[in-house]
A and B are shown apart, each in its own frame.
Chain A
Amino acid sequence: MSELTYREAVRAALADELEADPRVVTFGEDIAAAGGAFKVTEGLLEQFGPRRVLDTPISEQAIIGTAIGASIKGLHPVVELMFADFAAVCFDQIANQLAKYRYMTGGQVDVPVTIRMANGASLGFGAQHSQTVESWFLNVTGLVLVAPSTPQDAYSLLRASIQSPDPVLVFEHKGLYNARGPVERIAPAEPLGRAAILRRGDDVTIVATQLMAARALAAADELAARGVEAEVIDLRTLAPMDVDTVLESLGRTRSLVVVQEGPLAGGWASTLVTRVVTAGALLAAPPAVVASQETPVPYATNLETAWLPSVERIVDAASRPAEVA
């Protein structure tokens, strides 16, 4: 067990998979010689050489397409989209090609592609470099969507993604790259698709991911000071979505708050609420969703701060149903 940043944990996962499996290759814009825009892949070129760690032109469609083709022939390519927003440039490759290839061919071939991308707001990159885009893909069947919150999950979930026979999109929150935590560098023990319970509590269930998971924990501390014990669940993967873990928690708390970075419309939070409610969860109060404002991500510090769900808004939402109850 060592203490690593989220960035170092991603790098360690890449290095350990490159080391363990000769089918693994990695490529993307600026990832080799320069070590990546966020320096996640620094040192991998030196360690594994230009045959396995490659720089590409600024050609997102070619990057994803190459990964798909290589995976059809049995490789396990890991590609980086420098910013998650650039997924829009190659949406066809991801949504129409990667996600559907296995199905349309009647399962003739697996497509074990992993796409890593720097997701999320909080660093002042403006509207085209700050979005949380995981919900764009929620409506595309055939993809695993991974959103790690801790250095350990950044490590373990990425390794599991690379080993997976299915296409996986890994959303790395760029606001978490410097977050530190203990990381055990061992092969992942559990399959993708399981939520993590970050904090136990019996009064209210707060579900969040990534940057918002940390804020949910901070909100839980404040709530505890008021005598409300919150259970905080980190979904970790949005597809498949671990609804069972949330339902089990709601069986005890009967109160749900979902915290989502990104606008409410069409987001994973709405999907979770729908799945929970239609599964028959008995809630003591209407479920609450704390989401970002319904605007593009603004640039100015005060505006971007106000755009992101705050600890105060989470505390507020978590207090209200308890009072109603």
Chain B
Amino acid sequence: MWEIRAFEEATQRLFTSGLVRGSTHLCQGQEAVVVGACGALRDGDSMLCTYRGHGAVLAMGAPADRAFAEIIGKAGGLCGGKGGSMHLTDASVGALGSFAIVGAHLPIALGTAFASTYLEDGAVTLCFFGDGAANIGAFHEALNMASIWKLPVIFVCENNLYGEYTAKHLTTPIDRIADRADAYSMAKHCIDGNDIAVVHGAVAAAAERGRAGQGPTLVEALTYRHKGHSRTDPGKYRPKEEVELWLGRDPIPRLAEQLRARGVDVDAVEAEARAAIAEALERATSWDDPPHDAMFEDVMA
């Protein structure tokens, strides 16, 4: 979690200094969801996430230097510099894609889960998405078909209260997105997404259900985006009291407290994480740009 926090802070600095092109979507404040959920997986499982996916891809074990290199468009990036911030992918660790069309990857998660059922490989698919995605058609098609086919998918909704720039209550007529599982006869959990142990427990239970052939689960993890939607969005549309309330629920100090109670030297953990991220960034920035011909590679097999 400390590595992800440091990674995102560094990415933010890279963006403001002009090294990151286009846009970037940061996940500070949501680290417990991705670390808790990905930590409940085992080798061979798949994970798909959104364009706010740096944390999830790192949580699967993708190397931070290659993730940085992708974000700044280097040849050594996870995708050779052709994906960018919104498309971090490392298939070797099961991070099968960061998808930048809201909700589009929920149907794709059905496919990796379908293949697991077909191949009987015992794997599950973890699929992150935001509260905004719960209002797009692909979400409903995917939940319905996952349930009909009893696919081993864990849909994890990172409900950070905002779909891009608009508050959830203005776009979604129900309080709990998890309740949408009822319409698809699907198991559900609505949990504190800023408590890593709670997230881990819920996702582990859902994974067990999936591996046992009992079908998909919808997990709604309540969390908060410390930063704006993207780029330099300061998030001024959010009430000050709300931001302060959620900054007080920051998952990292909460985890730190739990770890200190167990005698862990948290300061050392954090220092080590920050050093590792700084070194990763230094390596990534030293790498070459993609060669011109890379443009024409990988279009077709």
Interface of A toward B, CB cutoff 8 Å? 25, 51, 54, 56-57, 59, 61-75, 77, 92-93, 96-97, 101-110, 112, 141-142, 144, 164-166
Question: Whole-angstrom distance between the alpha carbons of A62 and B149 in the complex?
Answer: 12
A97 touches B298 (CB 8 A): no
Report the Cα distance A105→B218, complex, angstroms: 27
For this complex, 27 residue pairs linking A to B, each with C-beta atoms less than 8 Å apart, are A54-B149, A57-B141, A59-B144, A65-B105, A65-B138, A69-B107, A69-B109, A69-B113, A69-B125, A70-B115, A72-B115, A73-B46, A73-B111, A73-B116, A74-B115, A75-B115, A75-B118, A77-B111, A96-B104, A97-B108, A101-B97, A105-B91, A106-B81, A106-B89, A106-B298, A164-B301, A166-B301
Q: Tell me which of B82, B96, B298 contacts A72 (CB under 8 A).
A: B96
Q: Return the CB mask of B92-106 against A: 1 if under 8 Å, else 0.
A: 100011010100111
Question: Please, how many angstroms separate the alpha-carbon atoms of A61 and B146 in the complex?
Answer: 13
Cross-chain contact B141 with A142 (CB below 8 angstroms)? no
Contact B114 A69 (CB under 8 A): yes
A109: B residues at CB distance < 8 A: 91, 96
Residues of B within 8 A of A (CB): 46, 77-83, 87, 89-92, 96-97, 99, 101, 104-116, 118-119, 125, 137-138, 141-142, 144-145, 148-149, 297-301
Bound Cα distance A25, B115 (Å): 10
Given A65-B108, A75-B118, A106-B82, 17 further pairs, Cβ under 8 A: A57-B145, A62-B138, A62-B142, A65-B104, A65-B105, A67-B111, A69-B113, A69-B125, A70-B111, A70-B115, A97-B104, A104-B87, A105-B87, A106-B81, A107-B80, A108-B92, A164-B301
B283 vs chain A, min Cβ distance (A):
18
Would you call B299 and A141 a contact (CB within 8 A)?
yes
Within the assembled complex, what's the spacing in Å between the Cα atoms of A108 and B88?
Answer: 11
Which residue of A62, A71, A72, A141 contacts B145 across the interface (Cβ within 8 Å)?
A62
B104 touches A73 (CB 8 A): no
For B90, the chain A residues whose CB sits under 8 A away are 108
Chain A residues whose CB sits within 8 angstroms of the CB of B301 once the complex forms? 102, 107, 110, 112, 164-166
Is the CB–CB distance between A107 and B112 below 8 Å?
no
* Cα A177 to Cα B51 with chains together (Å): 43
- A106, B83: Cα distance in complex, Å: 7
Q: Which residues of B contact A63 (CB under 8 A)?
A: 107
- B112 near A72: Cβ-Cβ < 8 Å: yes
The residues of A that contact B91 with a CB separation of less than 8 Å are 72, 105, 108-109
Contact B299 A66 (CB under 8 A): no
Roughly how many angstroms separate A24 CA and B167 CA in the complex, as a whole number?
44
**Known: A65-B107, A73-B112. Is A59-B141 also a contact (CB below 8 A)?**
yes
Closest chain-B Cβ to A237's Cβ sits at a distance in Å of 12
By beta carbon, the residue of chain A nearest B151 is A66
Q: Which residues does chain B contribute within 8 Å of A104, judged by CB atoms? A: 79, 82-83, 87, 89
Known: A106-B83, A142-B300. A62 touches B110 (CB 8 A): yes
> By the criterion CB–CB under 8 Å, are A105 and B83 in contact?
yes
